[in-house]
Structure 1
């Protein structure tokens, strides 16, 4: 989810529910220590455990509901009509897409969007805050810092770009380095159709730029929140920027300015492969793995042990992957129905989360009616206030502390 400015930074976990808190000054060096600095975080205790487990169940249920809706919209039917997969592949509806070229333009724009977001926002915002001396704000701006899973999230975003351009989810990685020689390229892919039209150099440059961004992200020492101001973080930001520029300034014009070449005959099967081999199986994995996540969280609630905390936290990591590898295609139902911020809002509204844990009022996680945005394209406040207290990151906070699964409180 884009790091919208209407979300509140996680600066309110100093409120106590019987837990412990830690803090450091703005002079702390984030490149040292274990990455705990400036995290003012409440803990699960025997006094708040009932609400804590109930909160996890409510969030996991909503994740399952949203993931199921998203898959069904693409696979079964959308807004009372044909499935979104059918709409996209047929591209004969002026309300959606009129040509295969329109579809491929959407695919490339989605890739540009996430490449830009990873470099400029997910890595860049914390880096810029740190560079300006706002080190606590820099910590709070790091996505997925409860689990220390930031680098993996961001690199999986880059995997989503590879899948979209090369028409496959079969991407090989060895020792945190993308192996282009072993990674698949679908016959009907953007890469191959560009290569076939006398532009092998651009096709290869795109794959290389994807690899450079992926490798640079995983070259950042772990966890990212302890190395925000590192040379590796800046290099990763630059690599993502280079990828975004190539996608927007070279690959996109190649397709959109040569529509006589990149016509329906040339691109129909590219679109079909993208939907059938990338989008649908990714959303199917998301639906299935989130369902397992709910099972693990339910087991934890029924039998709150350290072992069950570990199992639920491990499944959060597994369920998180298909979401992150879908972020190059955040268009259609996921955007139109507010499913992206439902599942992946960041930063969180910490004050509201604490209030919910205190009150046990889980109706605050719900919003009803049509998804409505304001003049800036952001969800209206009545919707955003619910989205800010649910989704993957709220569940992440409830399951993880300092990069490790939480432990069950003693009775």
Structure 2
């Protein structure tokens, strides 16, 4: 008897109650119009405001810290200043690598080409060495106007590191320190 009752209850739910649950008493959503444009706009706003902008803000802040550290290194070339400059470079580089996910649209290679200006590879070492050895008092503006292969993250890395380690501060010449600060200024302008 219990089996029969369970079977009848199941039959009732399948044939009557379940279909009724898919219907409504009244059509009261006639005034609701969902626009895909509004949905897309809200998704883009969330993405830009909660992902892209904070990532670029971190990059800008890290680049500014790197510039301060490199200026301090140039003013007072000590091992501690070299460590601070190397650490600041690493923080800025990590922020840049994360921001590379957004290198399309206005910052892509067919528009502003920020990546090409900041992250060009390979370096033109001969041109860099020639510029450094000229002893010119290069400014950030001068550096920014140069070809991408002689400025950017890889140039600052080349000046701060050798064989994966921070260089000894006594190995840096005043001309290299000047070039480091000028190249960092150019980098900051691209990041800020």
Partners of 2:107 and 2:122 in 1: CA distance: 19
Partners of 2:56 and 2:73 in 1: CA distance: 26
Alignment deviations for residues 122-144 of structure 1 (CA, whole Å, 9 cap, x no partner): xxxxxxxxxxxxxxxxxxxxxxx
Q: CA deviation at 1:388?
A: 0.8
2:156 counterpart residue number = 395
2:42 counterpart residue number = 269
From 333, 356, 360, the counterpart of 2:131: 356
Partners of 1:366 and 1:360 in 2: CA distance: 18
Structure 2 residue 138 is the aligned partner of structure 1 residue 365: no
Q: CA deviation at 1:337?
A: 2.1
Partners of 2:104 and 2:75 in 1: CA distance: 38
1:332 counterpart residue number = 105
RMSD: 2.3
Matches within 5 A, 1:115-130: none
Matches within 5 A, 1:140-151: none
The structure that has the greater radius of gyration is: 2
Structure 1 unaligned spans of 5+: 1-261, 368-384
Partners of 2:40 and 2:144 in 1: CA distance: 41
Alignment deviations for residues 282-310 of structure 1 (CA, whole Å, 9 cap, x no partner): 11111111111111001111111111111
Q: CA deviation at 1:331?
A: 2.0
Distance 1:341 1:276, change over 3 A: same
User: Normalized against structure 1, the TM-score is what?
Assistant: 0.31
Structure 2 residue 86 is the aligned partner of structure 1 residue 313: yes
Q: CA deviation at 1:317?
A: 0.7
Alignment deviations for residues 27-85 of structure 1 (CA, whole Å, 9 cap, x no partner): xxxxxxxxxxxxxxxxxxxxxxxxxxxxxxxxxxxxxxxxxxxxxxxxxxxxxxxxxxx
Matches within 5 A, 1:205-216: none
Partners of 2:80 and 2:49 in 1: CA distance: 38
1:386 counterpart residue number = 147
Partners of 2:36 and 2:124 in 1: CA distance: 46
Q: Is the 8 A contact 1:333 1:339 kept in 2?
A: no
Q: Greater helix share, 1 or 2? A: 2
Aligned positions, number: 134
Distance 1:332 1:360, change over 3 A: farther
Q: Is the 8 A contact 1:365 1:387 kept in 2?
A: no
Distance 1:326 1:366, change over 3 A: closer
2:12 counterpart residue number = none
Partners of 2:144 and 2:45 in 1: CA distance: 35
Q: Is the 8 A contact 2:59 2:99 kept in 1?
A: no
Distance 1:325 1:389, change over 3 A: same
Q: Is the 8 A contact 1:304 1:408 kept in 2?
A: yes
